[in-house]
Chains A and B, each alone.
Chain A
Amino acid sequence: MKDRALVEIFAKSFSSNGGDFFPCSGYDDSARAIAGYITAATGAGASASARIFISGSLPAALKDLIEAALKKSGAEFVLDGALGGATDVCVTAFDSMMAADGAVAVSAATAPPEESLLPPVSVLFADSPETFGNIAGFLGRAGGHERQITLIAGPSKTADIEKQLINGMHGPGKVAVVAIFK
């Protein structure tokens, strides 16, 4: 019950930070959510072909299901063997969620940092992620000895020109969190 309340708070906070959140019940559900998001975010199939990289940090079974869901949706896409400069979307893993802050933590031990940084669209996935009330709870548990932790709270953005908010300055302009809660 407590976890459900935290997930609801996270959904609200992350969305207000400019991200999209998809709580799912299993791999099938997650694969459909990921494929749907990629299609909508890139216009794949409608106007373009999307180059997608699925990180090795994701379970192999989920990778196959995402590919199948993308094919089923009629999306035009190419699966990249490695993250490259032309990659449009990267699906990678995250560790934990912080509800009140609307942020997820990605440790360098879980996935290389550039996977959630370089492509214009980022999809972050976790199966039963640990959900904390806020950053204080997360950092209290983390102990601080991980070599690198990045807290991601929405898309890359800037307002450096006339305070006009523009997403996707250097990092992804669109970010989705897909998580399985059992």
Chain B
Amino acid sequence: MTRHGTTEAFDVRENSRLALADGGLRRNLDNATATALLKRSAAVAESATFEASRDAAIATREFSILRLRELLDRFRESCARNGVTLDVFDDYEKANRRVLEILRSAGADFAVKSKSMLTEETGLNAFLESNGVEPIETDLGEFIVQLAGEAPSHITAPALHKSRFDVARLFAEKLGTPYSEDVAELTARARAHLREKFLAAKAGITGANFAIAGTGQIAVVENEGNARMCATLPRTHIAVIGAEKLIPALSDLPPFLDVLSKSATGQRMNSYTSILGTPREGHSRHFIVVTKKRFEIAADPLFGEILKCVRCGACQNVCPVFRRISGHGYGFTYGGPIGVMLAPLLTDYTRAEHIVDASTLCGFCRSICPMKIDIPRVIIEHRRRLCEEYRGPVSIERRVKRLFSFGFAVAMAVPFLKKFFTRAARIYFAATKAVFGREFAPFWDVFSRRHFVPVPRKTFFERLGRK
């Protein structure tokens, strides 16, 4: 319980403390995010079209955000022409109920499912399970985290926090297969296990990367082939789509494909792009559009920009906070800079109070975002609103901190004070070392969450001057 409301805040501080103590997690995150960044850089450097595609995609999104309702109406008409059912909900539970209703009418006691952050947002899996329908995640990363009973920790690489040793132990325990640390072998086991499910499934659930208003189709982009299987093998296909995914025409799609493939996975193009509309004979297709908070966000001149996001995950890969605590550290569906932007809007400032603080505002995310979203500006605005409109009276602890911060800022800004305090600090730390055998600062733990670092013997400029 927080002092501002009755719902529990996302506990970023406790999650971060646990994550920072986990050396294995840090290694896995460093390896995964560094590899993703290298691949992205190479793909962008090789491309002659990336910048032009980026500008075209941004223009389309800006146009679409201002006309979401109109595009939704057109999408509804186009779907009706294609023989696809369309339901629109502004409520997660109603959307989940509709999915359940379709699954029940298809006679499905389980459904194969491809990666969808929106269904994480709506809590679809838990809802289906509680109603006796088993959702089976089929993207390898999602399959791994589902077996582990966890949520995805990254938008495009849900299991990036796990090593192959973690996966080997998990498969041996949950699938009953012999222990193997070989990645190809682990992949083959997941493939064999899931193939049986695909062939027996009566219904498949996917998300959608884009929804084309003019043609009533969706585009699903992937590399594994599981979304293709979910959408085409079972007789019933359900796609759960965020309203912000709407674009006007099929001709608007190519720049997005160009931008997404390079930013998300560092590829010229993803292995499969499925453009899905009219179902095959004997099959049925159902689109469920979730509008939750989307229209309100779109109407805000600053926050509307967030809806340009194509969910590539590039901002997560560069974020120094994400790279230490992973998506799980935020406790919210979306981790990293995109999560910091979305959490207060999709929940409220009470719950997202600490998430809004989980950014260094270094600006790497802004520089890498293919849709040029000014992420730090959005986060600063969230912090402003949080302080001015939602946080209660300033606590004594915070007042003391502010006083110290102000004093420190003055000391560092005035050259002779800076010199004086630096020398004084050196003498102080030398004295504590001589007396107590170590350098320490009293009350440090009370006033700071950072590790204590003593003042060095020489400043950077002094070292340079000496050279």
Q: Which of B49, B271, B273 contacts A157 (CB 8 A)?
A: B271
Alpha-carbon distance between A135 and B278 when the two chains are bound, in angstroms:
21
B224 proximal to A (CB < 8 A): yes
The count of residues in chain A whose C-beta lies closer than 8 Å to any C-beta of chain B is 46
**Contacting residue for B140 out of A101, A153, A169, CB 8 A:** A169
Q: Does A41 contact B (CB under 8 A)?
A: no
Interface range for B: 35 or more
Once bound together, how far apart are the Cα atoms of A22 and B226, in whole Å? 27
Chain A residues within 8 Å of B259, by CB: none
The distance in angstroms between the C-alpha atoms of A149 and B163, with both chains bound, is: 36
Interface flags, A127-161, vs B, CB<8A=1, else 0:
00000001110011011111111111111111111
Check if A164 sits within 8 Å of B268, measured CB to CB.
no
Smallest distance from the beta carbon of A175 to chain B beta carbons, Å? 9
Point out the residues of chain A lying under 8 angstroms from B224, CB to CB.
Answer: 156-158, 169-171
Q: Are B254 and A113 in contact (CB under 8 A)?
A: no
B373 CB–A CB distance under 8 Å: no
Contact check, B274 vs A103: say whether CB atoms are below 8 A apart.
no
Inter-chain contacts of B277 with A (CB < 8 A) = 144-148
Residues of B within 8 A of A150 (CB): 228, 272-275
Q: Which of A135, A144, A153 contacts B214 (CB 8 A)?
A: A144
Residue in A134, A139, A147, A159 whose beta carbon sits within 8 Å of that of B278 in the complex: A147
The interface stretch among B30-38, B345-353, B417-425 is B30-38
> What residues of chain B lie closer than 8 Å to A155, measured between beta carbons?
271
CB-based contact B275/A101 at 8 Å: no
B164 on the A face (CB < 8 A): yes
Name the A residues within 8 Å of B31 (CB-CB): 162-163
CB of B186 within 8 Å of the partner chain: yes
**A48 lies within 8 A of chain B by Cβ:** no
B254 touches A163 (CB 8 A): no
Residues of chain B with a CB closer than 8 A to A73's CB: none
Enumerate chain B residues within 8 angstroms of A136, measured Cβ to Cβ. Answer: 251, 254-255
Assess the A148–B276 pair: CB atoms within 8 A: yes
Chain A residues near B164 (CB, 8 Å)? 161-162, 164
From known contacts A113-B228, A171-B228, infer whether A162 and B163 are also in contact, taking CB-CB under 8 Å. yes
Binary contact readout B199-237 vs A (1 if CB under 8 angstroms, 0 otherwise): 100000000000010110100000111101100110000
Inter-subunit contact B275/A158 (CB<8 Å)? no
Residues of chain B lying within 8 A (CB to CB) of residue A171: 224-225, 228-229, 271-272
Residues of A within 8 A of B275 (CB): 144, 146, 148-151
A16 at the interface (CB under 8 A from B): yes
Beta-carbon contacts under 8 Å, B142-165 to A: 144, 157-160, 162-164
Q: A103-B269, A136-B254 are in contact. List 20 more A-B contacts (CB 8 A).
A: A17-B271, A101-B269, A134-B254, A135-B257, A136-B251, A136-B255, A142-B250, A144-B212, A144-B214, A146-B275, A149-B275, A150-B274, A152-B272, A153-B273, A160-B141, A161-B144, A161-B162, A163-B31, A171-B225, A171-B229
User: What 9 A-B pairs have minimum CB-CB distances, sorted nearest first?
Assistant: A171-B225, A147-B278, A144-B250, A160-B141, A170-B225, A144-B215, A169-B224, A136-B254, A163-B35
Q: 7 A-B contacts, Cβ less than 8 Å apart? A: A17-B269, A85-B195, A113-B228, A135-B257, A155-B271, A166-B187, A169-B187
